[in-house]
Amino acid sequence: MCGIIGYIGKRQAMPIVMNGLKRMEYRGYDSAGVCFVENEALQIRKQAGKLSELEKDLFGVNFDATVGMGHTRWATHGVPNQTNAHPHFDEDNNFAVIHNGIIENYASLKIELEKKGHVFKTETDTETVIHLVEEFYKTGMDFETAVREAIYCIKGAYGFVFMCRHEPEKIIVARCGSPLVLGYGNEEFLV
Ligand code: GLU
């Protein structure tokens, strides 16, 4: 069972995200990854294996970001390795997603997206959703509307958290079937 955590507020996001992932370790996982905004870019770090591997990868990282998300993966589509670990992102690293669940119609969506020129990097069902978001965003929609349109295309059970380089002060969450809990703090939100 995967674990998802997202943070948006005034505190440093990454210690909260990593602590949250540790507290969900008992659920079992095969790989882990995080996303945060630094230097106006989405920074993604992911590793196969234990959270300690991801922690090594984060050594020396500037933890000023106050928005971030993290994921522990339980593979359903694609082998457990670093490439297939979440977050997944589009060709230009403008959007990132973490996902719990299964996108049942991913194969047909992937064929359509490849016809439109999207290049897939992973074997996961999850990657289709981020190319869909990119596709809708390109038509002039804002981040939230593009995510909503992408979600309308998907069949299956899911919990998602999305981030966008162009709107770095936001995270967008969606769920259907999978549980996803919102937490409200003092000028901060957790998922
Ligand atoms: N189906 C996705 C994958 O295989 C998500 C798995 C999960 O819930 O961790 O990457």
What are the pLDDT digits (tens) for 12-23? 999 999 999 999
| The pLDDT of residue 62 | 82
Per-residue pLDDT tens over the stretch 134-187: 999 999 999 999 999 999 999 999 999 999 999 999 999 999 998 999 999 999
Q: How many CA atoms lie within 13 A of 152 on its CB side?
A: 7
Q: Tell me, yes or no, if the pTM score tops 0.75.
A: yes
Q: Is the dihedral of CA 3, 186, 175, 150 positive or negative?
A: negative
Give the DSSP letter of residue 34.
E
How many angstroms does the Cα of residue 72 sit away from the middle of ligand 1? 9
Mean pLDDT of all residues belonging to the chain: 96
Question: Which atom of ligand 1 approaches the CA of 103 most closely?
Answer: 1
Helices (H), the chain: 13-23, 51-57, 106-115, 127-138, 143-152
CB-ligand 1 contact for 101 (6 Å cutoff)? yes
Q: pLDDT tens-digit profile of 55-114?
A: 999 988 888 999 999 999 999 999 999 999 999 999 999 999 999 999 999 999 999 999
Residues 6+ apart with CB under 8 A from 138: none
Going across the sheet that includes 67-73, the strands are 41-48, 31-38, 67-73, 3-8, 189-190, 183-184
Give the separation between CA 5 and CA 185, rounded to whole angstroms: 14
Band (pLDDT 50/70/90 cuts) for residue 44 is very high
Residue 122 in contact with residue 103, Cβ under 8 Å? Answer: no
Give the Å distance between the CA of 186 and the centre of ligand 1.
32
| CA neighbor of 20 nearest in space, from 42, 45, 3, 44 | 3
Half-sphere exposure of residue 143: CA atoms within 13 angstroms, side-chain side: 17
pLDDT at 39: 86
Is pLDDT of 1 > 80? no
The pLDDT score that the predictor gives to residue 52 is 96
